[in-house]
């Protein structure tokens, strides 16, 4: 078999794989989005025999939906706060774990564990920890840091803080691995040359580390934002959106609309809104961070 024939067969195999990938993408991504867009123009309800075409009335109804505005505000604030905290912590842990010994490799695995756990399991575990008679209150009471149990999940502000804390804890595993991979691609000679030139730790971090890990930071921040904008499983298990809907994210609101209120049409319209908002934020942040990479 000649080299030309092998190359042609290799190209044919790659073409078949590409076609299969495009078909799967169209089947599992594009088709559901198109179906959701169509349903958002109807009043589909599983309890009714037929769905009626209602035009853009579902979208105009959103203008007067206070629960949607509240959930969207909570989602955006949580996404920004969690992304900032998770990425700052991720850079810090990556700097601490950027070693080659076995103990550091074990610690990297431990740091990534929260990311591989199911969101539902994470939510239930932290619900046990943050309960009024949970592990955290027992620990704080035994050390004398508090005089009485704190209702971490019982008041709106503390519940919002708790949801953000748990989401940031989960995402920190991912951001640590991304920044660690970026750090390990930085040539050691750059640090050695900077040290010879008299640069201190802060100067080396500011002038070498930050610019070199900037592409990794762009990926980490963008994926963290998208993950948090569609967050619902952790919240469903941790607070169920309460108290008083204070921790109800937009994704959880969509699920409640569809499967509790049976309003498939309106839930699809809210889902399309969340898709547009998430895409706009992701594209804007990615553009800003890429521009920052050049400036650094």
3-state SS track over 91-138? HHHHHHHCCCCHHHHHHHHHHHHHHHCCHHHHHHHHHHHHCCCCHHHH
SS3 of 241-259: CCCCCCCCCHHHHHHHHHH
Please report, for residues 29, 74, 88, 150, 242, the alpha-carbon distance to residue 159 in angstroms, rounded to integers and kept in the order given.
33, 12, 22, 11, 8
Give the phi and the psi of residue 53 in degrees, each rounded to 5. Answer: -75, 125
* Predicted pLDDT of residue 2: 65
For the record, the structure tokens of 19 come out as 């076609």
What are 42's strand-pairing partners? 53
One pLDDT digit (tens) per residue for the chain, 296 residues:
566 777 777 788 888 899 999 999 999 999 999 999 999 999 988 888 888 999 899 999 999 999 999 999 999 999 999 999 999 999 999 999 888 777 877 887 888 888 888 899 999 999 999 999 999 999 999 998 888 899 999 899 999 999 999 999 999 999 999 999 898 888 888 888 888 888 888 888 888 888 888 889 999 999 999 999 999 999 999 999 989 899 999 999 999 999 999 999 999 999 999 999 999 999 999 888 888 776 66
For Cα atoms 109, 286, 33, give the angle at the middle one, nearest 5 degrees.
90
* Predicted pLDDT of residue 98: 84
* Predicted pLDDT of residue 1: 58
For Cα atoms 258, 264, 269, give the angle at the middle one, nearest 5 degrees.
105
The three-class DSSP label of residue 42 is: strand
Specify the DSSP class assigned to residue 1.
Answer: -
Task: Report the C-alpha gap between 286 and 289 in whole angstroms.
Answer: 5
For the record, the structure tokens of 285 come out as 């942040």
Specify the DSSP class assigned to residue 197.
Answer: T
- Judge if pTM exceeds 0.85: yes
For the record, the structure tokens of 167 come out as 């989401």
Task: Report the C-alpha gap between 204 and 207 in whole angstroms.
Answer: 5
* Predicted pLDDT of residue 186: 86
Specify the DSSP class assigned to residue 53.
Answer: B
Task: Report the C-alpha gap between 166 and 162 in whole angstroms.
Answer: 6
Task: Report the C-alpha gap between 237 and 120 in whole angstroms.
Answer: 6
The full length of the chain comes to 296
């Amino acid at each position: 078999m000649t080299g030309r024939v092998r190359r042609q067969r290799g190209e044919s195999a790659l073409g078949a794989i590409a076609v299969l990938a495009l078909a799967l993408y169209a089947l599992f991504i594009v088709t559901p989005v198109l179906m959701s867009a169509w349903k958002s123009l109807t009043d589909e309800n599983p309890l009714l025999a037929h769905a009626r075409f209602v035009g853009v009335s579902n979208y105009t109804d959103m203008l007067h939906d206070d629960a949607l505005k509240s959930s969207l505000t909570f989602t955006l604030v949580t996404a920004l706060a969690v992304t900032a905290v998770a990425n700052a912590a991720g850079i810090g842990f990556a700097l601490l774990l950027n070693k080659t010994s076995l103990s550091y490799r074990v610690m990297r695995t431990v740091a990534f564990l929260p990311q591989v756990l199911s969101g539902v399991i994470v939510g239930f575990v932290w619900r046990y920890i943050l309960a009024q008679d949970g592990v955290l209150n027992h620990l704080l009471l035994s050390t004398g840091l508090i005089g009485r149990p704190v209702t971490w999940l019982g008041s709106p502000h503390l519940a919002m803080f708790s949801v953000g804390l748990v989401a940031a804890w989960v995402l920190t595993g991912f951001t640590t691995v991304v920044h660690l991979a970026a750090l390990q691609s930085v040539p050691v000679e750059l640090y050695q040359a900077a040290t010879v030139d008299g640069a201190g730790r802060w100067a080396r971090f500011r002038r070498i580390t930050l610019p070199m890990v900037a592409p990794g930071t762009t990926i980490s921040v963008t994926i963290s934002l998208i993950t948090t904008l569609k967050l619902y499983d952790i919240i469903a298990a941790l607070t169920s959106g309460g108290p008083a809907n204070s921790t109800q994210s937009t994704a959880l609101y969509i699920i409640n609309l569809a499967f509790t209120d049976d309003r498939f049409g309106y839930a699809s319209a809210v889902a399309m809104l969340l898709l547009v908002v998430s895409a706009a934020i992701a594209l804007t942040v990615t553009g800003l961070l890429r521009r920052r990479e050049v400036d650094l």
